[in-house]
Structure 1
Amino acid sequence: MSNSRSRRRKPRGKSGGSSSSRQWRRMDLHLHTPGSSDYQESNASYLDILRQAEIRGLDIIAFTDHNTVAGFAAMRKEVEQLLWLEELGRLDLEEQRRLDEYRRLLEKILVLPGFEFTATFGFHILGIFPQDTPISFLEHLLLTLRVPLESLSQGSATVGATADVLTAYRVINEAGGIVIAAHANSSNGVAMRGLDFGGQTRIAYTQDPNLHVLEVTDLEKRGRYTTRRFFDGSKPEYPRAMRCIQGSDAHRLLRESPNSKSLGVGDRVTEILLREVSFEALAEVLKGSDLSLTRPYRGPANPIDFVQLAREEGESIVQSFHASMAQRGGHQNRVLRDVCAMSNGNGGTIYIGVSANPKEKPVGVRDHNGAIERLQTAVSNKLTPEPNVHIDNLPSQGKQIVRITVLPGQDKPYAIEDNLFYIRDDTETSLAVRDEIVRLVHTGHETSQAEAALPPLPPIGQLAPKITDAPSKVVETPRTGVEIVKSEKRKGTYYHTVRDLRNGNLIKNVTRSSARKLWHYAITKVEENGAPKAAEIAWQGNIAVLHVRKKNDNVWYDLAMREGDTIHYFYGVTDSGLNENWLSLIEKAQ
């Protein structure tokens, strides 16, 4: 069952990037078979599953039964038995027909072995492997993950005490597999959406370097509250942008009814841009950082425009847009400032040739190859040290858009012309003030003795206070916006200490005239109105919404939180900085 891939289909969409040899392929990497004890059609054959995959136009599928590889092993054994009978010249007509059908379908569809492992506390993890992986090797992996020997052939989702999530990630990755968090945003998912606890655990489970992909059930939805948007790298505590894909998690051939939650083969499909249909090419993309190489497949509808999707999500701390990169008018300098700022932060993506307004048509970059070379030269010549960036191009509405992918810097601080240090603050790029430069230096040299001697950051309840306002309900401080920690008047001018809620850093001696946009807003509120009185605040437990400010599609919140006798006021908080408790409160207030 070597499954060679000599034949190639025509591409189903336009290629992103500069390589015209790559093609969009359709995959469903989460299919159960009769090898799972909860499979809903016991009479279905493995040929039936392959035929249904062909009908749905799939190029790549994976058999991922619960804590077993019994399904893939059964199909492989059936094929090997038919090949043996053929070699002996003992095939009857029905057996010959089945073997011919297997040959045809396995030539057309890449079928990969895998499993859906149930980790400690019931979290589900997919492991996907090359098609020629020995069954004994995969069963050994499951035993290493503490699946009981007697359970290896049962295909049950419940197998008792097994390995923890992080161990499972590491073991599957080190074995050469693709590691996918199954239905991460729903039941048994590692994102633990809807739960009021587990913040640090959620961070560990979704940011671990051995995890390659999040499988989600809302990939085709738009808006601020989708799983893909939550894990796009804009949240300080989730700095690694995660690739999100979708799979059917099919437990039957066909969906029972249009409204049924029990999906069939190919009911949730992801398209992937591949150089060839092989496990190696698949792993190269899924383990890589170019998130535009996968997209939800929407049937005969127009293919998804990755640039337009980014515009609809809007500018953020990790995403910016520039209609031009011309030197005249300072456009190129603004692009370089974003590169510098994102290198000093958690990285990000910059799109050139398109505005942030999704309703405006893209301008495009006429000579995109030349533009890429000029940008590479400018980044190399003007930024010190040279940041880690990748520059390529993507199509959008018939225009070519230049994209700069900025990786988080490992040698901070980064500067333009040696002395201009920039940072990214929500949707703005600004010159760093003194205290921010000190923190960047501290981050870049945190192992040095001099920096180790720096005093610790002053905490608000240990930087991220956890306020209990109901049994088992924990509230953390927002992760975007600012707090005015202290204000004092000197010679008629107020000087403020501002806390950046993204990282807890304190910036001292900020005045109303020197403050940048968000700080200026917060300082103006404090100087003109003072802090609201506690008795006048509409508390919901220990938290409250003070004010909601909207502009176009952007929304900012002013919030309050009680910690004992102390009240903290947070200004300019965005959705990306809020956990479920805050979001629930805001939904009630609107």
Structure 2
Amino acid sequence: MSIVAENRNGMRWIRADLHLHTPASEDYAEPEVSYLDILQEAERRDLEIIAFTDHNTVHGYELFQRDLDFLQTLEAAGRLTEEEQQRLQEYRRLLAKLTVLPGFEFTSHFGAHILGVFPPDRPISLIEATLLQLGVPPDQLKVGACSVTNTRHVTEAYEIIARAGGLVIAPHVNGPNGVVSETLRMGTSGQARIAVSQSAHLHALEFINFYTDHEKFTSPGFYNGKTEHYERRMFCIQGSDAHRLRRLPDSENHVMHRHGIGDRYVELLLPDNSFESLRALLSSQEFDRVRVPKRDQKQWAVDAIRFGGSSERQILRVLAGEPPAAYAFWRDVAALANSGGGVLIIGCEPGGRVVGVERPDHVSEALRRGVAEHVTPQPYLSFELMSYEGHDVMRVEVKAAEPPPYVGSDGSISIRRDGETHPADRGEIIQLCRRALAEGASSPLDNGQDIDLPRSGVQIVSAQKRGGVWLYEVRDLRTTAGVTRDRAQGLWAYAISRHEDLRDGRVDLQSQVKWKGRLGLWRAYRQGSRTKYDLVHRDANGVIDHIFFGVSDWGLSDAWATLLNERNGDAIETETQAFDPTDELPPGVGHEEPLEPLEAPTELAEPSIWGERRVRWRGRGGLAKVTLDPTGDARFDLVMKDKEGDGQQNYPAVPLEKLTEAWLSLIRVPRPRTGIEVINAARNDEGELQYIFRNLRTGDVSGVPWRLQDIEPGTVREYAARMYQQDQPLDEEKVRWWGNLGYLRPMRSQVDLVFLDEHGEAHFYYAARREELTGEWRELLELYGEV
């Protein structure tokens, strides 16, 4: 159990899901599910309070009670069968730890939904009387219909439910059929929007996408009591709105109701899991006793494996002993590779405990060593340490870099069968070999399209993240492990940079490759006097499985040479991104006077100081600071590591005209893909500031300048405009710097960023979503412990 036990004054954090449907709703996705199934799934999800809230009916709770009452009646008469006795015992076991509340999801006059949740001792007839008062026709009280006409308006319904003794919750307010979304859709007045979200009879607002939506009216943070006209602070929660037992895979995007029981829950600090304690909390002002855990897609995926069980491409494991025990998981890795790839999660039991991983660096090293010593060929492994249910859990993604079979050092071939790892039998081995031929293993039919490794260049064969730093295995003439961006030089630095562009989605590889069969040319560029190439290879299914960076044209096979000869005069770029060891600063650049030490220790100083500066490295080159001289021209404090890596040279106040393309490439950083940029703020004839914005998510630029009074209060644009006024001119002592990148005003889910370009001009990016930042912007926050 991951629920926190004792916390404050005898209270503890209790997990609740107050928005569950049952087969009594007409749109329930799994009508064969029993009420015992629902309670068992709630227990698996560590829930202690749930509410049955079927559409315009309390019939689901009624059927649940009827089933339980029937079993108790049979027991009293001594007529229980063995199976019925087991069901009754299971009901009693579950209900000893789980509170089940009756309720409904009411459809108001204009389509907005409202949850009514009642105490478990409230008679069904009284709850149905409330539904009748709300306008649900008598002949539809047991139907569970999603749509009912001629019902009461939202604010009327709030009052009726509250006076009947129910908790009133506005569900999915920022989604379809939410009270806020409906008022926005219908274009009703601001007063109407205030009424539906601030009513005195309303106990809580339920949000979907709790941490991702940041526009006005649709964010929990908007209802913190500090927004004009929305003075009442609201309890903001989330619920699953489950129409099935367990969450559907993310691949099934077409399904409307994809969440399962407990997928979206709220944690409440309560003395017990009774309705009375729940009501007392939601009727109070103790907002710090409610919290909504943040989750990402990978956590949802772990849920699916944990509660759905291991499968052909998904494995859960816990360590039996010290971290070196992970060495034995190489058979699982080989089996996943033979299945075409998959995911190994270390630290969870199927359907049970989350125990986590201690000393993850030792675990990853033991597993990597086990795979390296026992599995041939080597699959691609990517390690990620993720927070899950209060524990550190290791996610290992296994990719099949070569066609199967993947063979163990003892001659065994492992496969996945019935959710377990087994030695392959003869038929399965034959199937693997047939698949290998189909996917492109060596064959006389390949006609030169078989993978023929170039004799130059490098390939990124593995990556894992440790302590916020990505480590890479780079295949050159040898395989070198544990390369970081800062330690890499020359071609390795270039390859890592391009690899990160792909990993973080900054480059659309498929659209840039010129193909000939299964061989592809991504890019041709000139480095010094030589032309080099980035080459790719795809498997029989069209999936790119190999990328080779910085390949020279010597020693290539005929198939590769044919591909390069068919470039037809395509443009050759000049590479500016990588720092080569020979790329020294020209003589006379700057003044070789010693600078004060600019690079901070690798450990975060406590506390971090605003105005602190750290060197931003790429290869051997580093940028310490950008300043403006008295004439307004940009000057750059640069650092170059010695070739041996033992020391460094400092070059202060280097002018722009002295910089090579490699140094300019270091200075230039792509804009983040989240937030709002204020491109310009100029005064009109009346002396009023007018703003031009760029939406960093879409790249769209506002065509018409905005005056501050024309911007709707509470929007991100309005926030950006106000902060831009405050940030002009830039006070560098209010920024934490990494070279020419910096941040200021970190918030719970957002951060304001600043960038100094090669002309020393400051660019501000406001309300950037932390979880959406990638590349060097994310590294900036990681460096200062903000991620």
Give the corresponding residue for 1:264. Answer: 260
Residue of structure 2 equivalent to 1:60 = 49
Match of 1:33 among 16, 22, 29: 22
Indicate the SS of the match to 1:201: helix
Q: Which residue of 2 aligns with 1:283?
A: 279
The residue number in structure 2 matching 1:51 is: 40
CA distance in 2, matches of 1:100, 1:86: 11
> How far is 1:174 from its partner?
1.0
Q: Does 1:293 align with 2:289?
A: yes
**1:423-479 Cα deviation digits (max 9, x unpaired):** xxxxxxxxxxxxxxxxxxxxxxxxxxxxxxxxxxxxxxxxxxxxxxxxxxxxxxxxx
Structure 2 vs 1, CA of residues 151 and 361 (structure 1 numbering), >3 Å: closer, same or farther? Answer: farther
Q: Which residue of 2 aligns with 1:218?
A: 209
RMSD over equivalenced CA pairs, Å:
3.5
- CA offset digits 1:75-110 (Å, max 9, x no partner): 101111111111011111111111111111111110
Quote the residue 1:74 is aligned against. Answer: 63
Does the aligned pair in 1 maintain the 2:14–2:270 contact within 8 Å? yes
In 2, are the aligned partners of 1:192 and 1:202 still within 8 Å (CA)? no
| Distance in 2, Cα, partners of 1:222 & 1:147 | 33
For the pair 1:162 / 2:151, whether they are aligned, the reply is: yes
* CA distance 1:360–1:234, change in 2 (3 Å): farther
1:197 corresponds to 2:187: yes
Residues 355-405 of structure 1, C-alpha deviation per residue, up to 9 Å, x if partnerless? xxxx9869xxxxxxxxxxxxxxxxxxxxxxxxxxxxxxxxxxxxxxxxxxx
* Corresponding letter in the other structure for 2:288: S
- Residues 229/10 of structure 1: CA separation in 2 closer, same or farther (3 Å cut): closer
8 Å Cα contact 1:26-1:297 kept in structure 2: no
**Cα 1:539–1:136 shift into 2, 3 Å:** same
1:20 to 2:9 alignment: yes
| Aligned counterpart, 1:530 | 687
**Equivalent residue, structure 2, for 1:136:** 125
Q: Which residue of 2 aligns with 1:171?
A: 160
TM-fit CA distance, 1:20: 3.2
Aligned to 1:248: 240
Cα pair 2:135 2:151 within 8 Å, conserved: yes
Distance 1:85 1:302, change over 3 A: closer
Which letter maps to 2:209? D
Query: Contact 2:243/2:260 (CA < 8 Å) preserved in 1?
Result: yes
For residues 214 and 176 of structure 2, what CA distance do their matches in structure 1 show? Answer: 21
In the superposition, the TM-score normalised over structure 2's length comes to: 0.39
Cα distance in structure 2, aligned partners of 1:220 and 1:285:
23
Larger deviation, residues 288-297 vs 113-122: 288-297
After superposition, residues 266-345 of structure 1 pair within 5 angstroms as: 266-298=262-294, 301=387
Q: Per-residue deviation at 1:191?
A: 1.3
2:175 is matched with 186
What's the offset of the Cα at 1:302? Answer: 7.8
Change (3 A) 1:302 1:96: closer
**Alpha-carbon distance in structure 1 between the residues aligned to 2:248 and 2:683:** 57
For residues 549 and 96 of structure 1, do their structure 2 counterparts lie closer, same or farther at Cα, with a shift above 3 Å needed?
A: same
Aligned pairs (5 A) from 1:534-545? 539=704
What's the offset of the Cα at 1:132?
1.2
AA at the equivalent of 2:35: Y
Kept in 2, the 8 Å contact 1:219–1:244? The answer is: no
**Which secondary structure state, in structure 2, belongs to the residue aligned with residue 203 of structure 1?**
helix
Q: What amino acid is the match of 1:76?
A: Q
Residue 235 of structure 1 deviates from its aligned partner by: 1.4
Q: Report SS of the residue matched to 2:13.
A: strand
Q: Deviations over 1:525-573 (max 9, x none)?
A: 89x9834799xx96379958896446434999xxxxxxxxxxxxxxxxx
Cα distance in 1 between the residues matched to 2:60 and 2:175: 25
Matched, 1:114 2:103: yes
Kindly provide the amino acid, as one letter, of the partner of residue 539 in structure 1: V
Distance 2:291 2:388 in 1: 12
Percent identity, please.
Answer: 43
Note if contact 2:3-2:46 (Cα within 8 Å) is conserved in structure 1. Answer: no
Offset of residue 220 of structure 1: 3.6
CA distance in 1: counterparts of 2:104 and 2:134, whole angstroms? 12
The Cα of 1:234 is off from its aligned counterpart by 2.0
Distance 1:35 1:133 in 2: 19
Look up the equivalent residue of 1:75 and give its one-letter code: F
Task: Give the distance between the partners of 1:244 and 1:12, measured in 2 at CA.
Answer: 21
Q: Is the 8 A contact 1:219 1:246 kept in 2?
A: yes
Shift of 1:257: 1.0
**Structure 2 gap segments, 5+ residues each:** 300-353, 355-386, 391-604, 609-680, 692-701, 712-716, 728-743, 753-765, 768-787
User: Which secondary structure state, in structure 2, belongs to the residue aligned with residue 26 of structure 1?
Assistant: strand
Do the aligned partners of 1:220 and 1:296 also contact (CA within 8 Å) in 2?
A: no
TM-score by length of 1: 0.51
Q: Deviations along 1:329-356, whole A, 9 cap, x unmatched? A: xxxxxxxxxxxxxxxxxxxxxxxxxxxx
**Matched AA of 1:191:** V
1:145 equivalent among 134, 138, 150? 134
Match of 1:209 among 192, 195, 200: 200
Distance across 2 between alignment mates of 1:213 and 1:125:
11
CA–CA separation in structure 2 for the residues paired with 1:245 and 1:164: 23
SS, match of residue 65 in structure 1: strand
SS of equivalent residue, structure 2 residue 181 = coil
In structure 1, the partner of 2:230 is 238
Cα pair 2:2 2:46 within 8 Å, conserved:
no
Shift of 1:14: 6.8
1:36–1:66 CA contact under 8 A, matched in 2: yes
What's 1:229 paired with?
Answer: 221
2: CA distance, partners of 1:215 / 1:250: 14
Taking the aligned partners of 1:179 and 1:147, their CA distance within structure 2 comes to 17
- Residue 44 of structure 1 and its aligned partner are, at CA, apart by 0.3
Query: What do residues 144-188 of structure 1 show as CA deviations (whole Å, max 9, x unaligned)?
Result: 101011110100110111011111111111111110001111111
Q: Judge which range, 255-264 or 120-129, deviates more.
A: 255-264
Please tell me whether Structure 1 or Structure 2 has the larger radius of gyration of its CA atoms: 2
The one-letter code of the counterpart of 1:203 is I
Cα pair 2:237 2:292 within 8 Å, conserved: yes
Name the CA distance, whole Å, in 1 between partners of 2:150 and 2:29: 26
Aligned-pair CA distance for 1:223: 5.8
- Distance change >3 Å, CA 93–CA 531, structure 1 → 2: closer
Tell me how far 1:237 sits from its aligned partner.
1.4
Going from structure 1 to structure 2, the CA distance change for 1:114 and 1:204 (only over 3 Å counts) comes to: same
Asked if structure 2 preserves the Cα contact closer than 8 Å seen for 1:13 and 1:303, the reply is no
- Runs of 5+ consecutive residues of structure 1 not aligned to the other structure: 1-8, 305-358, 363-521, 557-573, 576-590
In structure 1, distance between residues paired with 2:389 and 2:22: 30
* Residues matched between the structures, number: 331
Question: Is 2:74 the partner of 1:85?
Answer: yes
Structure-2 change in CA distance of 1:532 and 1:127 (3 Å): closer
Question: What CA distance in whole angstroms lies between the structure 2 residues aligned with 1:221 and 1:532?
Answer: 30
The SS at the match of 1:280 is helix
Could you say if the C-alpha distance between residues 223 and 99 of structure 1 is closer, same or farther in structure 2, counting changes exceeding 3 Å? Answer: same
